[in-house]
Amino acid sequence: MAEAEQNQLPGYVRLSRSGELEERARRAYEMLRDCVVCPQECRVNRVEDELGFCRTGLLPRVSSYSPHFGEEPPLVGRNGSGTIFFSGCNMRCEFCQNYEVSQCGVGGAVPCEDLAAIMLPLQDRRCHNINFVSPSHVVPQILRAVALAAPQGLSLPLVYNSGGYDSVDTLRLLDGVIDIYMPDAKYGQDDVAWELSHAKGYVEHMQAALKEMHRQVGDLVVGADGVAVRGMIIRHLVLPGNLANTEIVMKFIADEISRDSYVNVMAQYHPAWQAAEGGRSPVLAALQRPITAREYRYAIDCAKENGLSRGFP
């Protein structure tokens, strides 16, 4: 193979050919025996199907997979993002708009061989990437599946679409494997993160994770067709009453990640799951309404005042 063609291949293809990808998968599987795959660090033996916070044992659970056109434009392009939605989650967001999948277990267990087989038809349908949605608790299984799919011809960029509550040690196993990271930067303060998402130490873990992701892939790079080929997209959901402390989040991104970060400042919050009921605490009660136009403008102003300009109006 010509050197130029070799250099155009995703990193995981080269890692597969060298045997490094299978070695990464093996090391990741060892983490499942006393599970510390994510910051919850439940230390259950998932190899023996013990269940921790994410309620996922050895086999990953998949709720759906298809070309998806609701993601950010650089991922969707003309043919869609090849999304694979994993069931379960390493957070428990009280307002989750996808709670049937993340919290209620919709989906079925899938051997890694079948997960690999899911990716190839998405490539055949000309999706621009393979997009792993809620992957933080199933990184070992993803690595194993990619190691199986690469020799069968998988060559699309891989997207890691997470809530930002990721372990740096686990992310390091993905160095050279993931092409595009798309984490949430949900909160600026830990007390809110705990009450709303049951994620202890969220801010510290999120900030460390985003720094590691950016170290691996840098700012978002798009091709001549406008489709992302590498880099990071950061999502931030605006919450009622500025519960997310947007000003803190935007300052962190600008000062410690990059002012060239692509940031999707999202306005689609609406009360869902537990937040739709409210009443259990003042914080949940505050979530029983959509955001206002003024609240969204404030979030955009926070981004702009910190020198951010990519990914939002």
What does the pLDDT look like over 160-195, one tens digit per residue? Answer: 999 999 999 999 999 999 999 999 999 999 999 999
Strands (E), the chain: 61-68, 81-86, 108-109, 130-133, 158-162, 180-183, 221-222, 228-237, 262-266
Q: What are phi and psi of 122, to 5 degrees?
A: -65, -40
| Host H or E run for residue 250 | helix 246-252
What percent of the chain clears pLDDT 90, i.e. is strictly above it?
Answer: 92
Domains (range + CATH), the chain: 3-232 (3.20.20)
Give the Å distances, CA to CA, from 217 to 45, 174, 180: 32, 11, 7
Residue 4 pLDDT > 70: no
Strands (E), 123-179: 130-133, 158-162
Higher pLDDT, 135 or 9: 135
**What's the mean pLDDT in 110-134?**
98
pTM above 0.85, yes or no: yes
Average pLDDT, the chain: 96
Q: How confident is the model at residue 6 (pLDDT cuts 50, 70, 90)?
A: low
Residue 134 pLDDT > 70: yes
Q: How confident is the model at residue 5 (pLDDT cuts 50, 70, 90)?
A: very low
What is the Cα 269 distance to its own chain's centre?
18
Both tokens assigned to 45 = 């033996």
Distance of alpha carbon 116 from alpha carbon 150, whole angstroms:
9
Residues 277-311: tens digit of each pLDDT:
866 788 888 999 999 999 999 999 999 999 999 99
Distance of alpha carbon 152 from alpha carbon 114, whole angstroms:
13
**What's the mean pLDDT in 254-261?**
98
